[in-house]
Amino acid sequence: MAKGCDVKQEKITFGEYGTEPGKFLIISGVAVSADNEIFVTDDINKRVQVFSIDGTLLRFFPTVLPGESKTMYARGVALDVAPGYLWVLGSRNRWFFTFNKDYVVQYSKNGQPIKKFDVSLKSIYPVIAMDVRNNKIIVGDRNTIMVFDPNGSRLWSSRVPTEYQISGVTSDKEGNVLLSDGSKTIQKYNPFGVKILEFGTCGKGEGQLNSPVGICLDTSGRIIVANSKYKRVDMFTSQGKFVRTIADIERPRAVAMGPRGELVVTSPYKVTIFPRHMVFP
């Protein structure tokens, strides 16, 4: 007699183009909290939408500036060190050639704006991450990586050699900053802004990159990259050795790892959740 079997969860995909709740006008960033809530920045809709790990819409809130009624385009999101808070990178203007008003804003997880500081951005798609070890905010903008304290003081910045622009950023447990250059390489900088690792070559083969964008780490420090040109998500060791391709997916963009090993991957108008057994077979 059969003892029963475990039904393995399949990937979950949700979202489409639109302005209604649960729909998107360009997903620009994603983050997953310790309690398994998915925060998605819905750029042109000027809001953050929050989902459960099974894709259920829980709530959403407009990206209002603290003390003002004005909203900003939501360009990226990172979870704060303090439970219950997040940081959103945004701009009052849509296009980079206009006079920009750019901000990093702290919100409660329910959408209450807390505080902000100004940044000056040159890219239409800057990126943001949190250095959890050192409680620092990391912003990647075109060819510059910047690190701020929570009050907005810039601690250091570094020019990044790239043929395109910084397209993804994250941080490891030692406080090192990792970024994708949007062209073909992944770069790692120590907490003082000195480059300590670079890997990646352009091509279609295993471990090669073409237009890498979103980047995150798993709990073991392995590097997960949205390899957008070749429609796949690839995993590397912390030293840049190719491990495997996790997923084949159209137009992968931002990536984030859930606390139980779920991988969340966005495309411009959709979110896909890959269960742990698909990420770590």
Which residues fall within 8 angstroms of residue 278, CB to CB, at 6 or more apart? 11, 246, 247, 263
Long-range contacts of 54-60 (CB under 8 A, 24+ apart): 54/12, 54/273, 55/12, 55/13, 55/14, 55/271, 55/273, 57/21, 57/22, 59/110, 59/111, 60/21, 60/111
Residue 162 is predicted with a pLDDT of 85
Beta bridge partners of 148: 137, 154
pTM metric for this prediction = 0.94
- Asked if residue 191 has pLDDT above 80, the reply is yes
Residue 1 is predicted with a pLDDT of 44
Mean pLDDT of 177-181: 96
Q: What are phi and psi of 2, to 5 degrees?
A: -70, 140
- Asked if residue 13 has pLDDT above 70, the reply is yes
In the chain, the domains with their CATH numbers are: 23-210 (2.120.10.30)
How much of the chain exceeds pLDDT 70, in percent? 95
Residue 163 is predicted with a pLDDT of 82
Mean pLDDT of 148-161: 94
Residue 125 is predicted with a pLDDT of 87
Query: pLDDT digits over 231-280, tens only?
Result: 999 999 999 999 999 999 999 999 999 999 999 999 999 999 999 999 99
- Asked if residue 6 has pLDDT above 80, the reply is no
Asked if 118 contacts 133 with a C-beta cutoff of 8 angstroms, the reply is: no
- Asked if residue 62 has pLDDT above 80, the reply is yes
